Chain A
Amino acid sequence: MQRRTRWVLAAAVAIAAPLLVQAGSSPASAHGTLSDPPSRVYVCMKEDPEVPKSAACKAAVAAGGTQAFYDWNEVSLLDAGGRHREIIPDGKLCSAGREKYRGLDLARADWPAKQISSGPLTVTYHATAPHSGSNFEYYITREGWNPTMPLRWSDLVLIQKFTNVNPTQFTSWTLTIPPRSGRHLIYSIWQRVQYSEEAFYTCSDVDFGGSNPTPTPTASPSPTASPSPTASPSPSPTVRPTNSPTASPSGTWQAGKAYKTGDRVTYNGLIYECRQAHTAYPGWEPPNVPALWLRV
């Protein structure tokens, strides 16, 4: 019911979206993923995130939890605005660089894959909140790509781009798939153009039959080259400033430090006392989080 409500809302937002023209700059979220060939998130959602069947979905849930698969239609970046290659690092293309979706980045050769061959292929995008005036781009991994290696932008070859699309709940296109052998990924980017900078990303595993080339051993980083961990000083939690019972300032506030109740710090020349134990983060500077720091 909850889930259904959300879909209804998404649809309502879609219907209401044209009203935003008057607002000038309001975003409204769209939702969707490639349903055929199914994206990784769609596959594991269909399997049931609580009891996944395939080894790949089991591993993805183990790596990142179930929430990603309940929110299968939101592998998106709200502020993308076409900057995909700038803001999504290599190796994280399937998750859009979002930790929530990190299970989708697992480089495995056993993701459930649709059998396909080169030539025409009909693909279908399932949009729970379709928006007019969108651009869709479809890519396939290069011949020679290895599914057990992290996916990089340079692995992707553009198949086709569709601009100014007005998608419906299920939108299909016929792509011309180039010759490949073994396992590959079809990658898509849905970039909204009107009302929002939001973009959606999908990874769909496909299998052409035959085999992928074995990874060249020269390319892999040698494990012997790793620096010996024994040389580094062990990060001891005891370096935390101890505060004297006289309540004198115990030093300048520092992100990354663990503070406990009663600790005192200076920040911009002012003294603050810790109200609640926490690890300090950028964004949690004492004047900004009165819940954690009291000015004294």
Chain B
Amino acid sequence: MRRVLLAVVSVLFAGACSTPAGSPPPVAGSPVHAQHGPATFPANSGFNGTDVMFLQMMVPHHKQGIEIARLAKERTVRSDVRVLAAAIESTQDAEAGTMAGWLRIWGQPPTADPGSHAAHGGMPGTSAEEIEILRKAPEGEFERRLLNMLIAHQDDAVQLARMETSGGANTQTRELARRIDTSRSAQIKEMLGYLR
């Protein structure tokens, strides 16, 4: 518990742009040149605590999404659902790499404590037990449960993205959040269609 508390506090301090030992101090307002983002973006702007917290929450959240989406390969689902799940897996994998890269460039910790959901800062994460229940779901229920879990998961992602678009300062990160908001909202719509 104490370790967890310290981890969370460290995220919050990271949000305050403290300087981790051994890394250059990030200066708010100064350009940070990202090497991982799409080349079409303008030069990066500075970043604030919301940007850092968003990325630290989103990387593990993406990875959980990948874990859920991968279950579609192991079990029987209609082909449209399989295609969607595979696209979720590869796009989120690429985005997670981009986001982790930005945190590295900014000299910020990737997550507070990868083993404890600390990076969620209290936001929901689909727990390992819940994913396990899905994995073991009977054949007739699996697809519906998978879609419901993915809808819930992407709905949380939309919330995190809106936190960033309303409070973040970094241009690239805000733009990524905007695209996460629109693409996940569209995914949810598509998945709701499969449940009808």
A-side residues, CB < 8 A to B, are 2-3, 5-6, 8-10, 12-13, 15-17, 19-20, 22-31, 50, 64-68, 70-71, 74, 76-79, 81, 98-100, 129, 197, 255, 276-279, 281-284, 287-292
Given contacts A26-B53, A50-B133, A65-B148, contact A16 B16 (CB under 8 A): no
Q: How far is the CB of B157 from chain A (nearest CB, A)?
A: 10
Question: Interface extent on B, as a size class?
Answer: 35 or more
B-side residues, CB < 8 A to A, are 1, 4-5, 8-9, 12-13, 15-17, 38, 40, 48-50, 53, 83-84, 86-87, 90-91, 93-94, 116-118, 120-130, 133, 144-145, 147-149, 151-153, 155-156, 159-160, 162-163, 165-167, 169, 178-184, 186-188, 190, 192
Given contacts A66-B148, A284-B183, contact A291 B122 (CB under 8 A): no
Q: Are A25 and B50 in contact (CB under 8 A)?
A: yes
Q: Are B8 and A13 in contact (CB under 8 A)?
A: yes
Given contacts A100-B156, A283-B183, contact A79 B86 (CB under 8 A): no
Q: What is the CA–CA distance of A289 and B151 in the complex, to the nearest angstrom? A: 21
Contact of A9 among B122, B129, B169, B186 (CB under 8 A): B122
Q: Are A29 and B121 in contact (CB under 8 A)?
A: yes
Q: What is the CA–CA distance of A180 and B188 in the complex, to the nearest angstrom? A: 38
Given contacts A25-B50, A100-B152, contact A71 B124 (CB under 8 A): yes
Q: What is the CA–CA distance of A256 and B34 in the complex, to the nearest angstrom? A: 30
Q: Are A282 and B155 in contact (CB under 8 A)?
A: no
Q: What is the CA–CA distance of A63 and B93 in the complex, to the nearest angstrom? A: 30
Q: Are B116 and A5 in contact (CB under 8 A)?
A: yes
Most buried by A among B90, B147, B153: B90
Q: What is the CA–CA distance of A50 and B137 in the complex, to the nearest angstrom? A: 11
Residues of chain A within 8 A of B152, CB atoms compared: 64-65, 67-68, 71, 99-100
Q: Are B12 and A67 in contact (CB under 8 A)?
A: no
Residues of chain B within 8 A of A25, CB atoms compared: 48-50, 167, 169
Q: Are B84 and A10 in contact (CB under 8 A)?
A: no
Q: Are B183 and A28 in contact (CB under 8 A)?
A: no
Q: What is the CA–CA distance of A9 and B124 in the complex, to the nearest angstrom? A: 11
Given contacts A9-B120, A290-B38, contact A20 B12 (CB under 8 A): yes
Residues of chain B within 8 A of A9, CB atoms compared: 4, 8, 116-118, 120-122
